[in-house]
Every structure is written in structure tokens, then in C-alpha cells.
């Protein structure tokens, strides 16, 4: 007769969201061995939802394959009472979003040596995830995180740093169950310009997001809106970098400024790689001359953790012992850790931040919880009703972007901090969805990838022209779901284009890129014609 392999004593509820709950638990094996873990248990209604379960397994497998000292660990996938259960490592500490809030309230700055050691761990993790050779063999997974921000960087009281929440990650691995392609991803306030414009993902976008995060950690202030146009973008970045609050030798201060500015370069090719940044941050940390990370975590992080309120929801499962289902099989491969560097050196709307469309995140809070000072009902920072601050856990959410349902799956660390909090404004993150078949519109070389499905939007017949007969590579997108690609060699006629602003990303025939140019379709006019002047690098025309 088969028996359950393991039992879990549920100590307390950590968080609850629309798709499940997370518990602090003691895992008890049949041989008497026990350990503390965090268990995410899907609500019963989602356990029979094939898409949700497949994506849960996929993301857990990914984290099983890329184990690294600075990347959160998912230990196992199993089932309890017929519900999908995720067993995760337990970390005690807080994330950097909460740390910004805590330090600001205390009137303190983030110690520079500790901060640069933490960022050193992050770039080590990003480099290993993308370039590292798995010890079990095979090609690098080419993981791009796509949602780097302070709430996804965790520091524990023992002096460690972890990159959380690879639920929006893009990667190459054969064992995935859900065969999908990316449509939208990321958190608006940290999104690289090329991501805003719908261009192909590269590791350089993660470096940009980390640069924005580093700015916020140095200043304890939000960076704010990221302008998609290069002129306004560079003006804002240059001013913000020049105003960084730095003290010390001028050579060191200038290296900090140059590093931050390079990470936030408009062009992806001009940003340093994560591997190149390893040496830079090691040098910056060594020369900072103030509190290092171990002392910082032992003192300040411990104090910040204790400042968080406890969460007490009266969950009846707390205090109970539950059995793993008989015959439950592990879904996470038992593989050696991924090769890594040494310990030290080692969408929201795709367009714009200021005018976010409320339809972009229409439904489905998720069960991941933001450690950044409050529980969040969004997929980016996670969170649910009465969630625990200081927790990032596996979560699943459904978002709607331009009428396309997107499953947002978050896998992160389950870390105990406890405490309920008011829910802030959500910061949605969307991830992978089935890629629609391109729809031909006009000549060969012009494809509508996804449509704006707003039923109430006025539409106008729109003709797009390109001044250079050699054509180019043009991407046209709006913030409510529309995306099209076009080679510019013949007119692109769209019979019914929804009103609103459309941003474009263009690679001209000579290889030069033009970003940040846009045109606006007027829904109260019967037709619109816009021509891109390749010499001037801008759109002309209008609606009549």
C-alpha cells in the first residue's frame, strides 16, 4: 500500500491571493528528517486548470535548472489534497523596495559598500542565468529575467542576496509544457525603451532595469516616467545621474556616475553586459569605505524585518499536519546547481508610463506578495488581500492586454516577514501568451501581429507610407494591444485602425535605428495617411 512521501506541518499563513495561499511549513519526511520550507498551495478551482498548472510546472522547472547562489530556489512541485503545491526555499529578510521605504523613514542612506555588493550579486545572477553552462550538460538557457526592480531583489539577515520572481523570464529549455511566445512583459517604471517599443528581448534590457533600480537605491526616490523618445530620455537621464548624492574621492564618484549612466543608455548596444559589470561593482564596493553587506544585513536588515507587522488571518489550516498526495511526483528536475561565478564577483502597457490604460490590468490579483512595504494586487510585485510584507512567492494571475487574456506566472522566493498591510496601486506585469497567427494586411511584408480589440474605439482607414523605396524594419504598436510589423516597401493600408497614439521602432536600410517617433489616428475622421520621412527621421501627415 502506497503512503505519502512527506508531510507538512503548516505553521502559519504567509500570504493569500486570487490563485492560492502561501504557508510557512515544516516538511517532515518518512525517515524523520524535517526542514523549514514555504509551500504555495493553489486554490482548488485552479488545480484542474490545465494552462495554469502547466505554467506553474514550467517556471518551477526553469528555476530548478538555473540554481545559483543569488537566484531563488524552487525545491519541488507536488500535490496536496489534489491541489498543485510548490515547495520553495525559505528566506528571512526583506526586499529592496521595503528597504528603500525603511531607510527613508529613518532618515538614513543605503550604505554604498553594501549596496554595490548587493548589485554585484544581481549582475552575477543575471550573467549566470543567461550565459552559464548547466553542470548537467546542454546549452545555456539564455534566461532573460524581464522584471528586474527593487521588489525582486531580496536580502536576508545572514548576508545573502537573491534575485526573485523569474515568472516573467524568457528562456530556452526543452521540457516546458506550454509552448508559447512572449507578447508583453515587465514593469512599466523599469522598462527599457526598446521594450516599450515592442522590440526583441535582449539581456541589455535587464541591465537597463537594474540601472533604474540602482538609481532609486542611491537616492531613495522613484525615478519616475521613462521617456521613450531619445531626446527627452537623454536629457532626463543626464540630469538625474549628475544629481546623484555621492561623497568620497572624485574618481570613485565619477565611476559610479559613469556606471549608472552606461547601464541606462538608450541604445542596448551601448550598455555594459552583466559579465562586464561584475568587475565594476566589485571595485566600487571595495572602494566605498562604508558599511559592507554582511554587517548591513546583520543590523539594518534585521531591524527592517522586525519593523514589519505580523499577518494573522485565522486560517484553519494553520497548526494542522497535511499529507503529500500518494503517488505525487516531483516536477522539478533533480539536477546539480548551474555553474556560476564566485559569491562576490560572481507588461504592463508596452508603451509609455504616464497614460496607462485601465483596461491593461483588468482582472485577477495574484498570490505573490511584495516585500516592498505592502501587499500588492499586481503580478509584478505580487500580492493579494491581507498579504504579508516581505514575501515574494509563486503566484499566478490573469491579465488582459488589449482583450488578449494573458497568464502571468510568478515564481519567487517564499520568505518570512509577516504582517498585513494596505494595498497600494497595482503595478501589473504580464508574461507569456500564445502567439496569434500574423494577419496579412496589404502587401507582403506588412503583418498585423495583434489587434486593438476595444469595442468602443472609433476607427479610421489608415495608410502608412515609407519614403525610402529600400524599405526598412518597422514595428508599430499602441498601449492597448495593437502591434504590426512592416518592411516599408509598399503602402501599408489598415482598413479600420483604432483611434489613439501609435509609437514606432524603425531600423532603416542603412542599419540606423529610429525610436520614439509616433503618429496619432483621429477616430472622428474617415481616413488618415502618415508617411515616415527616412531622411528627417519623423512621421508626417494626418487625418481628414
Give the bridge partners for 27, in sequence order. Answer: 8, 35
% residues pLDDT > 90 (the chain):
41
Instruction: Quick: pLDDT tens for 379-395.
Output: 333 333 333 333 333 33
Domains of the chain: 91-307+340-433 (1.10.510.10), 439-543 (2.60.40)
Three cell numbers written together for 9: 506541518
Three cell numbers written together for 143: 534566461
- Average pLDDT estimate for 20-32: 85
Instruction: Quick: pLDDT tens for 208-221.
Output: 999 999 999 999 99
Query: Which comes out higher in pLDDT, residue 415 or 234?
Result: 234
Q: Please, what is the end-to-end C-alpha distance for the chain in angstroms? A: 78
User: Quick one: pLDDT at residue 329?
Assistant: 57
In whole angstroms, how far apart are CA 381 and each of 62, 245, 369, 425?
A: 20, 27, 6, 11
425 band by pLDDT with thresholds 50, 70 and 90: very low
Question: What span, in angstroms and rounded, lies between the C-alpha atoms of 49 and 283?
Answer: 49
Query: Which comes out higher in pLDDT, residue 482 or 222?
Result: 222
* Contact criterion met (CB below 8 Å) for 497 and 446: no
Question: What span, in angstroms and rounded, lies between the C-alpha atoms of 400 and 382?
Answer: 16
Task: Tell me whether strands 395-401 and 321-323 are parallel, antiparallel or unpaired.
Answer: unpaired
- Average pLDDT estimate for 217-233: 91
User: Quick one: pLDDT at residue 397?
Assistant: 34
289 band by pLDDT with thresholds 50, 70 and 90: very high
Q: Give phi and psi for 154, each to the nearest 5.
A: -120, 135
User: Quick one: pLDDT at residue 543?
Assistant: 94
Question: What span, in angstroms and rounded, lies between the C-alpha atoms of 233 and 239?
Answer: 10
Residue 490 predicted with pLDDT over 90: yes
436, with CB counted inside 10 A (0-12, 13-18, 19+), is middle
DSSP codes of every residue in 193-249: HHHHTTPPP-HHHHHHHHHHHHHHHHHSS------SSHHHHHHHHHHHHHT----S-
Instruction: Quick: pLDDT tens for 307-325.
Output: 876 767 778 888 899 988 8
Which residue in the list 147, 165, 201, 381 is annotated as catalytic? 147
Q: Residue 155: which H helix or E strand, with range?
A: strand 153-156
Contacts of 428 (CB under 8 A, 6+ apart): 187, 347, 348, 360, 361, 378, 379, 380, 399, 408
- Average pLDDT estimate for 509-535: 89
Residue 327 predicted with pLDDT over 60: yes
Task: With CA atoms as reference, report the closest residue to 204 among 164, 162, 145, 255.
Answer: 145
175 band by pLDDT with thresholds 50, 70 and 90: low
Three cell numbers written together for 57: 510546472
Question: What span, in angstroms and rounded, lies between the C-alpha atoms of 56 and 128?
Answer: 23
* Contact criterion met (CB below 8 Å) for 170 and 205: no
Q: Give phi and psi for 543, each to the nearest 5.
A: -120, 150
Kindly report which listed range (13-17, 193-197, 238-242, 498-502) carries the lowest average pLDDT score: 13-17
User: Quick one: pLDDT at residue 521?
Assistant: 93
Task: With CA atoms as reference, report the closest residue to 399 among 425, 432, 371, 368.
Answer: 432
- Scan for cell 498548472, then name that residue: 53
Buried b or exposed e, range 75-108, using 16+ CB within 10 angstroms: bbbbbbeebbbbbbbbbebbbbbbbbbbbeeeee
- Average pLDDT estimate for 438-459: 74
Task: With CA atoms as reference, report the closest residue to 187 among 151, 162, 232, 159.
Answer: 151
Buried b or exposed e, range 441-461, using 16+ CB within 10 angstroms: bbeebbbbbbbbbbeebebbb
* Contact criterion met (CB below 8 Å) for 116 and 277: no
Instruction: Quick: pLDDT tens for 137-150.
Output: 888 889 899 889 99
- Average pLDDT estimate for 495-499: 92
304 band by pLDDT with thresholds 50, 70 and 90: very high
Query: Which comes out higher in pLDDT, residue 378 or 288?
Result: 288
- Average pLDDT estimate for 497-509: 89
The DSSP output letter for 170 is B
15 band by pLDDT with thresholds 50, 70 and 90: low
User: Quick one: pLDDT at residue 169?
Assistant: 64
Instruction: Quick: pLDDT tens for 54-106.
Output: 766 766 777 778 778 999 888 887 888 888 788 888 888 899 999 999 999 99
Kindly report which listed range (158-167, 364-373, 477-486, 534-543) carries the lowest average pLDDT score: 364-373
User: Quick one: pLDDT at residue 539?
Assistant: 94
Using DSSP, state whether 295 is helix, strand or coil.
helix
Kindly report which listed range (2-16, 76-90, 276-290, 498-512) carries the lowest average pLDDT score: 2-16
Q: Give phi and psi for 258, each to the nearest 5.
A: -65, -40
Question: For residue 53, how far is the Cα from the chain centroid?
Answer: 20
What does the mean pLDDT of the chain come to? 76
Q: How many Cβ atoms from other residues are within 10 Å of residue 437's Cβ? A: 8
Q: HSE of 419 in the Cβ direction (CA atoms, 13 Å)?
A: 24
User: Quick one: pLDDT at residue 166?
Assistant: 76
Contacts of 471 (CB under 8 A, 6+ apart): 445, 487, 488, 489, 509
In whole angstroms, how far apart are CA 110 and each of 210, 249, 288?
A: 16, 18, 12
% residues pLDDT > 70 (the chain):
71
The DSSP output letter for 268 is G
Using DSSP, state whether 281 is helix, strand or coil.
helix
Whether 165 is catalytic: no
Residue 249 predicted with pLDDT over 60: yes
Quote the pTM value.
0.67
Task: With CA atoms as reference, report the closest residue to 104 among 353, 378, 307, 384.
Answer: 307
Residue 374 predicted with pLDDT over 50: no
Handedness of CA 423, 222, 478, 435 (dihedral sign): negative
Residue 370 predicted with pLDDT over 50: no
Three cell numbers written together for 484: 504590426
179, with CB counted inside 10 A (0-12, 13-18, 19+), is exposed
Task: With CA atoms as reference, report the closest residue to 207 among 277, 129, 139.
Answer: 277
Question: For residue 117, how far is the Cα from the chain centroid?
Answer: 21
Task: With CA atoms as reference, report the closest residue to 411 among 427, 397, 390, 425.
Answer: 397
Three cell numbers written together for 316: 484553519
Amino acid at each position: 500500500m502506497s503512503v505519502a512521501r512527506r508531510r507538512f506541518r503548516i505553521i502559519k499563513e504567509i500570504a493569500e491571493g486570487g490563485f492560492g495561499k502561501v504557508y510557512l511549513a515544516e516538511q517532515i519526511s518518512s525517515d524523520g528528517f524535517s526542514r523549514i520550507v514555504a509551500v504555495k498551495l493553489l486554490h482548488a478551482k485552479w488545480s484542474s486548470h490545465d494552462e495554469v498548472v502547466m505554467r506553474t510546472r514550467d517556471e518551477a522547472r526553469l528555476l530548478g535548472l538555473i540554481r545559483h547562489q543569488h537566484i531563488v530556489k524552487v525545491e519541488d512541485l507536488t500535490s496536496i489534497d489534489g491541489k498543485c503545491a510548490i515547495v520553495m526555499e525559505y528566506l528571512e529578510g526583506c526586499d529592496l523596495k521595503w528597504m528603500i521605504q525603511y531607510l527613508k523613514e529613518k532618515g538614513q542612506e543605503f550604505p554604498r559598500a553594501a549596496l554595490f555588493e548587493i548589485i554585484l550579486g544581481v549582475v552575477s545572477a543575471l550573467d549566470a542565468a543567461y550565459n552559464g553552462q548547466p553542470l548537467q550538460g546542454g546549452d545555456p538557457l539564455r534566461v532573460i529575467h524581464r522584471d528586474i526592480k527593487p521588489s525582486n531583489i531580496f536580502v536576508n539577515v545572514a548576508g545573502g542576496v537573491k534575485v526573485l520572481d523569474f515568472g516573467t523570464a524568457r528562456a530556452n529549455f526543452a521540457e516546458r509544457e506550454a509552448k508559447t511566445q512572449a507578447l508583453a512583459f515587465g514593469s512599466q517604471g523599469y522598462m527599457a525603451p526598446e521594450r516599450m517599443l515592442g522590440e526583441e528581448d535582449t539581456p541589455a534590457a535587464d541591465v537597463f532595469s537594474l540601472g533604474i533600480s540602482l538609481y532609486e537605491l542611491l537616492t531613495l526616490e522613484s525615478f519616475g516616467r521613462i521617456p521613450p523618445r531619445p531626446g527627452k530620455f537623454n536629457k532626463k537621464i543626464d540630469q538625474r545621474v549628475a544629481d546623484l548624492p555621492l561623497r568620497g574621492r572624485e574618481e570613485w564618484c565619477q565611476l559610479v556616475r559613469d556606471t549608472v549612466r552606461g547601464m541606462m543608455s538608450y541604445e542596448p548596444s551601448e550598455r555594459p553586459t552583466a559579465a562586464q559589470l561584475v568587475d565594476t561593482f566589485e571595485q566600487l564596493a571595495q572602494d566605498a569605505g562604508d558599511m559592507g553587506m554582511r554587517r548591513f544585513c546583520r543590523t539594518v536588515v534585521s531591524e527592517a524585518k522586525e519593523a514589519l507587522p505580523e499577518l494573522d488571518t485565522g486560517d484553519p489550516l494553520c497548526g494542522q499536519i497535511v499529507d503529500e498526495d500518494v503517488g505525487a511526483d516531483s516536477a522539478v528536475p533533480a539536477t546539480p546547481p548551474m555553474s556560476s561565478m564566485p559569491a562576490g564577483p560572481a507588461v504592463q502597457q508596452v508603451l509609455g508610463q504616464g497614460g496607462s490604460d485601465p483596461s491593461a490590468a483588468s482582472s485577477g490579483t495574484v498570490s505573490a506578495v511584495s516585500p516592498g512595504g505592502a501587499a500588492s494586487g499586481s503580478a509584478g510585485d505580487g500580492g493579494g488581500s491581507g498579504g504579508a510584507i516581505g514575501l515574494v512567492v509563486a503566484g499566478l494571475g490573469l491579465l488582459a492586454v488589449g482583450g488578449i487574456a494573458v497568464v502571468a506566472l510568478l515564481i519567487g522566493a517564499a520568505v518570512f516577514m509577516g504582517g498585513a498591510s494596505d494595498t497600494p496601486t497595482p503595478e501589473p506585469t504580464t508574461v507569456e501568451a500564445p502567439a496569434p497567427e500574423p494577419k496579412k494586411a496589404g502587401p507582403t511584408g506588412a503583418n498585423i501581429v495583434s489587434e486593438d480589440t476595444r469595442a468602443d474605439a472609433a476607427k479610421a482607414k489608415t495608410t502608412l507610407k515609407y519614403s525610402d523605396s529600400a524599405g526598412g524594419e518597422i514595428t508599430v504598436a499602441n498601449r492597448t494591444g495593437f502591434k504590426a510589423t512592416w518592411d516599408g516597401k509598399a503602402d501599408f493600408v489598415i482598413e479600420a485602425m483604432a483611434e489613439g497614439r501609435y509609437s514606432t521602432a524603425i531600423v532603416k536600410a542603412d542599419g540606423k535605428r529610429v525610436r520614439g517617433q509616433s503618429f496619432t489616428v483621429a477616430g472622428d475622421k474617415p481616413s488618415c495617411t502618415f508617411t515616415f520621412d527616412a531622411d528627417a527621421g519623423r512621421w508626417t501627415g494626418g487625418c481628414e
